[in-house]
Amino acid sequence: MSPRPDVSAQRKAQILDAALRVFARKGFHKARMDDIAEEAGLSKGLLYWYFRSKDALIEALLTVLFEPDLKDLERLLADTQRPVPERLRELARNALTSLLPYRELMPIVYEFYALAARPGPFQQAIQRYYQHYQALLADLLTQGLARGELRADLDPEITALALLAQFEGLTLMWLIAPDSMNLEERWEAVAEQSLATLLPTPTSAAA
Q: Are residues 82 and 60 located together in one domain of the fold?
A: yes
Q: Are residues 32 and 93 located together in one domain of the fold?
A: no
Residue 13 in domain: yes
- Across 161-169, average pLDDT: 93
Q: Are residues 83 and 162 located together in one domain of the fold?
A: yes
Q: Are residues 135 and 39 located together in one domain of the fold?
A: no
Count CA atoms closer than 13 A to 48's CA, side-chain side: 6
Q: Are residues 63 and 146 located together in one domain of the fold?
A: yes
Q: Are residues 38 and 82 located together in one domain of the fold?
A: no
N residues, the chain: 207
Q: Are residues 60 and 37 located together in one domain of the fold?
A: no
Q: Are residues 139 and 76 located together in one domain of the fold?
A: yes
Residue 61 clears pLDDT 90, i.e. is over it: no
- Across 116-132, average pLDDT: 84
Total domains, the chain: 2
Residue 184 in domain: yes
- Across 141-163, average pLDDT: 96
Sign of the alpha-carbon dihedral angle for 159, 160, 164, 170: positive
Residue 201 clears pLDDT 90, i.e. is over it: no
33 vs 43: CA distance, rounded Å? 10
- Across 115-144, average pLDDT: 89
pTM: 0.83
- Across 153-160, average pLDDT: 96
Answer for the pair 105, 24: CB distance below 8 angstroms, yes or no: yes
Query: So what's the pLDDT on residue 139?
Result: 98
Query: So what's the pLDDT on residue 203?
Result: 63
Cα-based angle 52, 58, 59 (whole degrees, multiple of 5) = 85
Residue 206 in domain: no
Query: So what's the pLDDT on residue 189?
Result: 94
Q: Are residues 112 and 147 located together in one domain of the fold?
A: yes
Query: So what's the pLDDT on residue 154?
Result: 95
For residue 145, the domain's CATH number is: 1.10.357.10
Residue 40 in domain: yes
Query: So what's the pLDDT on residue 34?
Result: 93
| Averaged confidence pLDDT in the chain | 86
For residue 30, the domain's CATH number is: 1.10.10.60
Domain that holds residue 184: 55-198
Each residue's pLDDT tens digit, 7-20: 588 889 899 989 98
Q: Are residues 114 and 144 located together in one domain of the fold?
A: yes
Helices (H) and strands (E) in the chain, counts: 9, 0
Each residue's pLDDT tens digit, 18-53: 998 888 888 878 889 999 999 999 898 889 999 998
Each residue's pLDDT tens digit, 64-106: 888 889 999 999 999 999 999 999 999 999 999 888 776 766 6
Residue ending a domain, choose from 52, 67, 86? 52
Q: Are residues 125 and 41 located together in one domain of the fold?
A: no
Query: So what's the pLDDT on residue 144?
Result: 97
The more confidently predicted of residues 112 and 48 is 48
